[in-house]
Amino acid sequence: MPDSKSITDRFIRYARVNSQSDNGSSSCPSSAGQIEFARLVIEDLAEIGCIEIGLDRNGYIMATLPSNVTKETPIIGFIAHLDTSPDFSGKNVNPRIINNYDGSVIPLDSEGQIILSPSEFPELLNYKGQDLIVTDGKTLLGADDKAGVTEIIEAMKYLILNPDIPHGTIKIGFTPDEEIGRGADRFDVKKFGADFAYTMDGGAIGELEFENFNAASVVINIQGRNVHPGTAKGKMINALQVATDLHHMLPASERPENTEGYEGFFHLSRIEGTVDKARMDYIIRDHDFERFTERKNLLAEIVAKLNERYPAGTVKAAARDQYFNMKEKIMPVYQIIDLAAAAIRQAGIEPVIIPIRGGTDGSKLSYMGLPTPNVFTGGHNYHGRFEFIPVQSMEKAVEVIINIVRIATS
């Protein structure tokens, strides 16, 4: 079985490195912390005995575990991302272990003001008796995706230490800037050389995903006209009011907080401005490509209507497609889902095949010619102070990786 202490120690060591990506940076990687973390990771890959280890100038890591069998087997890749989310502080992460969790409220900070409670996060009760790694209430934890990095390295270490386990050639890839949608942009699929791959970037234990949102971002700029409010009648164009009108012209039932499963949404992620000028940032998501297109068209129609109501050019929208549903690329090679599902079952877990209400590097990689579904890491409540991960879920993720390569060789 995988070494629980080694998994825990490695994850905590990785979590302490601040490798948040930076959406405001145009460099690759977008932050120096990712290079710091990457250098630590390549040292560890070398220490456990991987070969062909490389870190390129853009922060991408590739390495190989060579085959130990003579027969022809598929070359399988395992991929995770080095960055953590910029949504919440990743500086001075201080992970704590709650041993043998008893199902009660967990105080996160020293004052007991910030709590992780089963009444708010009922999934905690699924892990009674297990060991949870939590935050100190001041930062995110970074299990997304340092758990994935940890699990891949620990699986390779286990295979190297147990050469009696047959496996084909395994490719390891770690990417920067996944959290800001750039993780696969400069990934060299040809150099990687895998027939297919799995991102270790999912959530709760058992999850296996090959469907994700089609995604677009939209930046809306509104030019108002500021006039003293005492003499504003017929003259003022309040950019903030235009922004409010625009938002309320979108269906309220199709916001993230009102949707689940395969339901798409319009998400206002940022708004700022004054009477004179305002900016709104939206993301548009839908699993169905036709509905995805309809959503983009609806927002464009609303912008056009507002430009009829106000002077032409008052509202300007710039849309950018980010990624597409990988299902189209995975269905023709569905055997790789069957393989992962069998590996999960062999670990004593029933696979939970669900759509991703987001995206992963695998979505872009699948369209780049490398079919890459997503496997659980075990984490919960990503991107915030209430993030936690059970050590036993990480152990099972390591076991699943080992099972995948073992089954593929049989």
- By annotation, the residues acting in catalysis are 83, 178
Rounded to 5°, angle at Cα 286 from 285 and 289: 125
C-alpha to C-alpha distance for 333 and 325, rounded to whole angstroms: 15
What residue has token string 């750039």? 182
Instruction: List the one residue out of 58, 76, 82 whose CA is nearest residue 404.
Output: 76
DSSP characters for 65-98?
A: E----SS----EEEEEES-B-TTS--TT---EEE
Q: Copy the structure tokens of residue 346.
A: 């062999």
Residue 29, preceding peptide bond in cis (omega within 30° of 0): yes
DSSP characters for 265-334?
A: EEEEEEEEE-SSEEEEEEEEEESSHHHHHHHHHHHHHHHHHHHHHSSTTSEEEEEEEEE--THHHHGGGT
Integer angstrom CA distances of residue 177 from 44, 47, 180, 202, 360: 21, 25, 6, 16, 11
* Virtual torsion, Cα 190, 192, 195, 201, nearest 10 deg: -130
The residues pairing with 96 across neighbouring beta strands, listed in sequence order, are 134
Is the CB of residue 330 less than 8 Å from the CB of residue 210? Answer: yes
C-alpha to C-alpha distance for 94 and 226, rounded to whole angstroms: 48
What residue has token string 């050019």? 313
277-286 β-sheet, strand order = 265-273, 277-286, 214-223, 315-323
